[in-house]
Amino acid sequence: MMSRIDDERYSFLAFARNHVFVTLFGIVAPVLLFACFIGYPIVYTIYLSFFEWNGMAPTKTFVGLANYSYMFGDKYFYISLENNLKWLVVSLAFPVVLGFLIAYAMRVRAVYFPTLLRTAIFFPVTMSLVAVGLMFLLILNPIFGAFDTVLRALGLGFLVSEWFGDYRIAIYTLAFVGGWAFTGLPMIFYFAGIGDVPKETFDAARIEGAGHLRMMLRVALPQLRSVTAVVVMLTLFESLKAFDLIAVMTKGAPFGRTNVLGYLVYLESFWNSRFGYGATVSVAILVLSIAIATLMLGTVFRGAFDV
């Protein structure tokens, strides 16, 4: 039978062992994983942006800020940046707004078979964007595509266009395709968020004669500020990392007018063998992401997470 001293010693050792276990696997391990798979690549990318390197040579040539100087004079960088911003605007106006409207309609039971509809809209989120791109290449084909065929059948042939060949609308077409695949994510967030709004709040607004539009704008949205903050942040990052659809559907054509920053990194690094300049554009994406995220969380959504 253990003495009291032995029992206390055993308890202390057990506590110390558990504390070490929690420290190692609960703190140290995640930090090491973050440092290896996120921290180190970011640091190395910043380091590489100060060099000229073709990706195969054993040595790199230090060029200082030459890559940054070239980037600020590169017209394709500005075209890509503008396209990313257009993609962000379309994403905020299309999948986010549509996702909220669908979520609200399902919550107030304004649609039939809400579970089936929710599943159908969320399904594209699980699809590979490569598969989505190949599918829409067929749907939007100007000769035999289903979309233009329907337009002609409805007497709207004047709307038929070179959806990927016209530089004025190609980037918007790509953004809408990306938005179609992304809509399910905002919908799920808003569906869950509206479900947390007290039912009495909607009942009170309905008794006061509020219609659906007023309840969406005056009741639902003010209660969903934190959800909206998360959705907008996800949309921001989704638009800045756009790559798959461009690579599959246009490859930057026509004349580089559908390039985005992510695809520009790929072109400069793997096609032009300018890994230093590709890293520089990657740093620009990182800085832009941090700047816009900080602006949104610090100003636009100030107080969104207050409880």
DSSP string covering 121-162? HHHHHHS-HHHHHHHHHHHT-TTT-HHHHHHHHTT-GGG---
**pLDDT tens per residue, range 70-117:** 999 999 999 999 999 999 999 888 999 999 999 999 988 788 888 888
The fold of 69-300 is MetI-like fold (1.10.3720)
Q: Which residue, 306, 108, 291, 96, is CA-closest to 222?
A: 306
CA–CA separation, 297 vs 189, rounded Å? 18
Residue 215 above 90 pLDDT?
no
Q: Which residue, 28, 27, 67, is CA-closest to 47?
A: 67
Give Cα 86 distance to the centre of its chain.
Answer: 14
Tokens at 181, concatenated: 């695949």
- On average, the pLDDT of the chain sits at 86
pLDDT band per the 50, 70, 90 thresholds, residue 11: low
Candidate from 49-53, 73-77, 196-200 with smallest mean pLDDT:
196-200
Determine whether 95 is exposed, middle or buried from the number of CB atoms within 10 Å of its CB (0-12, 13-18, 19+). Answer: buried
Residue 233 above 50 pLDDT?
yes
Distances from the Cα of 246 to the Cα of 65, 102, 264, 292, angstroms:
29, 28, 10, 23
Tokens at 8, concatenated: 């206390």
Indicate the pTM of the whole model.
Answer: 0.85
Q: Kindly state the percentage of the chain with pLDDT values over 70.
A: 87
